Amino acid sequence: MDHRTNPASGSLPALSPDDAAGILARLAARHSIRDFLPRPIEPELLDAIIGDGLEAPNACNHQMWHFIVVRDQATKDQLQKISGSNEHFSSCGAIILLCFHMGWNHNKFAVVQSVAAAAYHMSLSAHLRGLGATWNAGIGNGAKIRTLVGLPAEFEVIGTLCLGWPAPEAPNLKPPRRPLETVRSYERFVRPATDCYPLAPASGGYRYTDLMNHSNKHSVFSPDRWGWDRIGNFRSYAVYAKSPLPGVYVSRRLGRELDAEVGLIGAIEPGACLVEVLPYGGSYTVRLHNRYGSAAAIHCLELSNRNLDFVRERVCREAGNDEGIHYDVMTAGRMPYADNSVDVVFLPQILEAVPERAAFLDEVARVLRPGGKVVVTVRNLLSWFGVFYFRSVSRGQVPNFGPYVPLASLLVRNELGRRFERQSEIGLTPLPNAVARASTGAMRLFSRLYGGTWIKKIEN
């Protein structure tokens, strides 16, 4: 295919405003698709899409990009395994590996910018042709990919574009965008504080390579330093890093822990009001719904409706419906419930992620009815996970669900004991290879998760 023959825009008639608006609306409707039909994509169509990508602007017109198309199922499965997540690598029709030649570069990552321009152009082309696409930087170990596809040393792979025919029931939810006025300013830099995330100060300015996901010298993990508004802002956009598909955000390992945490709630009265605080992507919500169904009024309490839209979509797909679930927004740590009105407050791995923890616990005590139950788990500082957190997690960047710092079991026990009466106490995952194992003995205080149930006292 010879792309030198494509006409330049000067030789084409200008579009009418309506035609232009129609095309732009079509392009704006593009969103990442991660749910595909098991249907191959013809090489001619793939070539046409890549050919469209070659029309993108690129640095000095060197076109230092290279695109390797992988259609073979075994190789796609290998790429999925290397990525460590991204299930759609296996289920898509073709993976285009986004590569560039390192021989000619520019200090502003010009070759990377050029590949990105082509990748977006290909995404739009695929979208207009009825295919779905997801662009991915989460590709895992580049050296393994290099060996798998025979990529020479002078080329680098920086991502993939997964293409496929969308499953008819694929989520049709466009991730929300920040309002225009928060991300653009005229003449000078202006941006609301809630849309800027905290970084530890850097004396000589920030160096790009000092702020990588696995090693970030300036990340701030303290929820107090973030504050409610910025945490809410961060979570509500980041949750859309994935599609609201069943099982999203739950590894097999994590799934067993989640089940055990939900199990702590125990039996509840018919019609009871159960508040799940900060459900993020809805992993606990699905389990709560499966377990209690319409026997409980489950209130998902998040910091933004954007998060709640994701949870709603995910629960409906995974559980079949969301009957009995209510979606509520909490502002500045204030719960939208009357005093003494809630039967159960569920705080799974939440206390270590909220700012102003003492005030938040007072708020929990305010809304809980006398005799009501607070069910808590926390990532425990006094455990192997506490060591792992300080040696590894806290050296990287803040995870998409927001900042947190593990809390010592004894501190949590003390803080809860000042407001509530302890009913049960448990440790989960005492050792890394004993996932979700429960301990009520001494190890309960030194397991990865410390938790239990506490009751609001009934005044005489």
Q: Which residue has the tokens 């070539």?
A: 47
Q: Which is nearer to ligand FMN, 80 or 380 (CB)?
A: 80
3-state secondary structure of 95: strand
CA distance 73 to 94: 9
User: Near ligand FMN by CB under 6 A, which window of 48-56, 60-68, 213-221, 234-242?
Assistant: 234-242
User: Near ligand FMN by CB under 6 A, which window of 129-137, 204-212, 218-226, 270-278?
Assistant: 129-137
H/E stretch holding 163: strand 155-164
Strands 449-455 and 368-379: antiparallel
For position 401 contacting ligand FMN by CB under 6 A, the verdict is no
H/E stretch holding 373: strand 368-379
**Binding pattern for the stretch 166-185 against ligand FMN, x by CB under 6 A and - elsewhere:** ---------x----------
CB 113 → ligand FMN: shortest distance, Å? Answer: 12
Strands 272-277 and 342-348: parallel
User: Near ligand FMN by CB under 6 A, which window of 7-15, 58-66, 235-243, 299-307?
Assistant: 235-243
Q: Quick one: which of 137, 196, 338, 387 contacts ligand FMN (CB under 6 A)? A: 137
- Of 424, 448, 371, nearest to 264 by C-alpha is 424
User: Near ligand FMN by CB under 6 A, which window of 132-140, 212-220, 314-322, 375-383?
Assistant: 132-140
Q: Which residue is nearest to ligand FMN (CB)?
A: 138
For position 241 contacting ligand FMN by CB under 6 A, the verdict is yes
User: Near ligand FMN by CB under 6 A, which window of 63-71, 141-149, 240-248, 322-330?
Assistant: 240-248
Q: Quick one: which of 109, 135, 197, 388 contacts ligand FMN (CB under 6 A)? A: 135
User: Near ligand FMN by CB under 6 A, which window of 3-11, 30-38, 349-357, 448-456?
Assistant: 30-38
For position 31 contacting ligand FMN by CB under 6 A, the verdict is yes
Q: Quick one: which of 134, 236, 304, 383 contacts ligand FMN (CB under 6 A)? A: 134
For position 32 contacting ligand FMN by CB under 6 A, the verdict is yes
- Asked if residue 192 lies in contact with residue 180, where contact means CB atoms within 8 angstroms, the answer is no
For position 242 contacting ligand FMN by CB under 6 A, the verdict is yes
Q: Quick one: which of 22, 38, 57, 138 contacts ligand FMN (CB under 6 A)? A: 138
Within 10 angstroms of residue 12's Cβ, the number of other Cβ atoms is 8
- Asked if residue 99 lies in contact with residue 156, where contact means CB atoms within 8 angstroms, the answer is yes
- Asked if residue 231 lies in contact with residue 303, where contact means CB atoms within 8 angstroms, the answer is yes
- Of 228, 194, 229, nearest to 355 by C-alpha is 228
For position 314 contacting ligand FMN by CB under 6 A, the verdict is no
- Of 278, 277, 274, 257, nearest to 266 by C-alpha is 274
User: Near ligand FMN by CB under 6 A, which window of 44-52, 145-153, 185-193, 239-247?
Assistant: 239-247
CB 225 → ligand FMN: shortest distance, Å? Answer: 26
For position 86 contacting ligand FMN by CB under 6 A, the verdict is yes
- Of 427, 424, 426, nearest to 453 by C-alpha is 424
User: Near ligand FMN by CB under 6 A, which window of 52-60, 131-139, 219-227, 330-338?
Assistant: 131-139
For position 240 contacting ligand FMN by CB under 6 A, the verdict is yes
CB 190 → ligand FMN: shortest distance, Å? Answer: 24
CB 157 → ligand FMN: shortest distance, Å? Answer: 13
Cα dist. 429→12, 406, 442 in Å? 65, 15, 13
- Of 129, 128, 126, 167, nearest to 39 by C-alpha is 167
CA distance 191 to 434: 46
Residue 144 CA to chain centroid, in angstroms? Answer: 25
3-state secondary structure of 116: helix
CB 22 → ligand FMN: shortest distance, Å? Answer: 20
Q: Which is nearer to ligand FMN, 79 or 262 (CB)?
A: 79
- Residue-level length of the chain: 460
Site for ligand FMN in 142-161 (CB under 6 A): 159
Whole-number CA gyration radius for the chain = 25
Within 10 angstroms of residue 38's Cβ, the number of other Cβ atoms is 11
**Binding pattern for the stretch 192-231 against ligand FMN, x by CB under 6 A and - elsewhere:** ----------------------------------------
CA distance 403 to 389: 12
Q: Which is nearer to ligand FMN, 103 or 138 (CB)?
A: 138
CB 91 → ligand FMN: shortest distance, Å? Answer: 12
CA distance 79 to 75: 6
Q: Which residue has the tokens 């009825």?
A: 130
3-state secondary structure of 421: strand
Binding site for ligand FMN (CB under 6 A): 31-32, 34, 86, 134-138, 159, 175, 240-242
